[in-house]
Amino acid sequence: MDIVFNSLLVHHILSREVESSRPDSMTFDLNGTIVEFSKEDFLLVTGLWWSSIKLVRSVEVMESLQLKYFKNLMTIEVHPTKFKECYKMLEFENDLDVVKISLVHYYVLGLIGKGKIKSSINKSLLDDVKDLEYFNSLNWGYILCERTFNGLKKVLKDKVTSYKENVWANEIISSIAGRTAVQLNNNVVP
């Protein structure tokens, strides 16, 4: 199935969010039909899962991947574009480091989809991935679901009124077409 992302449709749906009794879901009123999007739905759509196992990161001292491969580039956070550029240029000492840095790369640019303008990568991911067993035990379904829901809830913050005004204007303009002006031909604005 070919699916094309439609940001206007997503904004339209998000502007119709209503309060939900469940803190782990988002509820929308779509033309009188109440639709709920829960964390279970998120996991079903993404193919991710909840992890009930939570390991503690190993305390053994390992050389920092940040210092080993990124030197002073990542003091606390780095822009995803810079991380991507550096990743392409890295000369790894061993295959395990390739796997570890690639996991961070995939997480940041694939799963999270960090925007190229306003986001940054926290270097703690490089600390977490040093212990692969710990990194793989993280509850990725929960982490990604929380980030997605928080992002969806923030996207229209302070923009709902503006968006509704634009939708209203489009509906009004389309409803008066043919009553207030007549288009004489395709080359002229009525």
- Residue 17 host element (H or E): strand 17-18
Q: Is residue 43 part of a domain?
A: yes
Indicate whether 132 and 70 sit together in one domain.
yes
- pLDDT of 9 > 70? The answer is yes
3-state helix, strand, coil in the chain (%, to 5): 50, 10, 40
In tens, the pLDDT along 88-105 reads 888 899 999 999 989 988
% of the chain exceeding 70 in pLDDT? 68
- Nearest-angstrom CA–CA distance, 71 and 87: 13
Alpha carbon 137 to its chain's center? 21
Whether 111 is covered by a domain: the verdict is: yes
Q: What is the pLDDT of residue 34?
A: 92
For residue 143, pLDDT beyond 90: no
Kindly state whether residues 117 and 133 are assigned to the same domain: yes
- 60 domain-assigned: no
CA atoms in the 13 A half-sphere facing the CB of 113: 5
143 and 124 in a single domain? The answer is no
Q: Which of 156, 172, 171 minimizes the C-alpha distance to 16? A: 156
Residue 78 lies in a domain: yes
User: Could you give the CA distance from residue 14 to residue 148 in angstroms, rounded to a whole number?
Assistant: 13
Task: Tell whether 102 and 156 lie within a shared domain.
Answer: no
Specify which of 21-35, 69-83, 164-178 reaches the highest per-range mean pLDDT. Answer: 21-35
- Do 100 and 131 lie in one domain? The reply is yes
What is the C-alpha separation between 135 and 56, in angstroms, rounded? 10
Residues 74 and 133 in one domain: yes
Q: At 84, phi and psi to the nearest 5?
A: -60, -45
Could you list the residue range(s) of the whole structural domain that residue 91 is in? 65-138
Based on the domain organization, do 147 and 108 belong to the same domain? no
Residues 131 and 147 in one domain: no
Average pLDDT over residues 77-95: 82
149 and 134 in a single domain? The answer is no
Widest pairwise Cα distance in the chain: 78
Q: Are residues 89 and 106 in the same domain?
A: yes
Q: Is residue 144 part of a domain?
A: yes
One domain for residues 157 and 93: no
Among positive and negative, which fits the CA dihedral 145, 52, 35, 160?
A: negative
- Number of structural domains the chain divides into: 2
Tell me: do 40 and 75 sit in the same domain.
no
Across the range 56-61, mean pLDDT stands at 66
> 76 lies in a domain?
yes
27 in a structural domain:
yes
For residue 182, is it within any domain?
no
Residues 6+ apart with CB under 8 A from 7: none
pLDDT at 66: 78
